[in-house]
A = this chain, B = another copy of it.
Amino acid sequence: MKNFTSVHDIKNIKGILSKALAIKQDPFSNKSLGQNKTLGLVFLNPSLRTRLSSQQAGWNLGMHVQVLNAGQDAWTWEFSEGTVMDGSTTEHVKEAARVLSRYCDVIGIRAFPLLQDREEDYSEPVLSAFLKYATVPVVSLESATRHPLQSFADLITIEQTWKEARPPKVVLTWAPHTKALPHCVANSFSEWMIKADVDFSIANPIGYDLSPEFVQDTPVYHDQMEALKDADYVYVKNWSSFEQYGTMPPVEKDWMLGEDFLLKNPSARIMHCLPVRRNLELGDALLDSNNQLVYEQAANRTLAMQTVLSELLSPTL
């Protein structure tokens, strides 16, 4: 593995899952791996879980960790080629990526989409620039279209908790929100579930179908209750429209899962990547029940990053 920006960087998904579960047994056993090495974390957008879990993952491997909040701690970056930089940008991403590569052994980068121009966002301007110019491995800490560390943590969480022989039924369901949100978590989750040994489907209102590139031949339901029938894992997440890019077409029914759902589906496990807006995206009854896996998902973020870093520093798969 040279970089980690999507599930496609993983050659052996069962192998990396086994590696993660082995690290979970003994997270501090490989501190020599990262000795005298530095992980650089670059945030163009705010972060709680990703920042904490990535630092923790680096430390668990004996690395030093640099955190850089770009635009706040440092300069604003230019991304276009050949431009005369007489405007507001003060450093070209070429220099930023190349210089960071001299200070860090692995670079993690987070850059959200602007949700205004679909083609622009889906070309991954920031991540692509780092992949092009950095001379060390690059890890996506959530990009314009994907959040692979979240999905890897989600898959670990399912693997850990599923004890039956048959593949679990996993449903990704859209949920309401007041703000137009990116597709990253939903796109990535779909990509990972397609590759995993699960029975996967998606539920979302009309107008909210995700990009075909990420959904592929996954069944997509516009009737939430039909989709959720007998679901073992319910992954709740809001996203804005892909077709009418970045907008929020009106939704008639109430898509928020509450106590009713739990009463009818007492064994369904509830997942969410957090942060979650309580009683808007998901009811208190579910988040405060034993059915929720959200804190375990958050904890597994460290494990996902630590596994990825281990594999980048010393490939075994």
Q: Give chain A's interface residues, CB within 8 Å of chain B.
A: 27-28, 36, 38, 40, 46-49, 51-53, 55-56, 59-60, 64, 66, 68-69, 72-75, 78, 82-86, 90-92, 94-96, 98-100, 102-104, 178, 274-280, 284, 287-288, 294-295, 298-299, 302
8 contacts across the A-B interface (CB closer than 8 A): A28-B36, A48-B91, A51-B73, A55-B66, A83-B279, A86-B178, A99-B295, A102-B299
> In this complex, what residue of B is CB-closest to A101?
B295
The contact of A279 among B53, B75, B85, B280, by CB within 8 Å, is B85
Task: Tell whether A40 pairs with B66 under 8 Å between CB atoms, given A46-B74, A83-B279, A90-B275.
Answer: no
Q: Which residues of chain B have C-beta atoms less than 8 A from A82's C-beta?
A: 279, 284
- Evaluate contact between B48 and A59: CB separation under 8 angstroms: no
Closest chain B CB from A293 CB (angstroms)? 12
> In this complex, what residue of B is CB-closest to A302?
B103
Q: How far is the CA of A47 from the CA of B27 in the complex (A)?
A: 32
Q: How far is the CA of A100 from the CA of B64 in the complex (A)?
A: 21
- Evaluate contact between B56 and A277: CB separation under 8 angstroms: no
- Evaluate contact between A275 and B75: CB separation under 8 angstroms: yes
- Evaluate contact between B90 and A298: CB separation under 8 angstroms: no
Closest chain B CB from A217 CB (angstroms)? 34
Task: Tell whether A48 pairs with B90 under 8 Å between CB atoms, given A38-B56, A277-B85, A280-B85.
Answer: no
- Evaluate contact between B64 and A48: CB separation under 8 angstroms: no
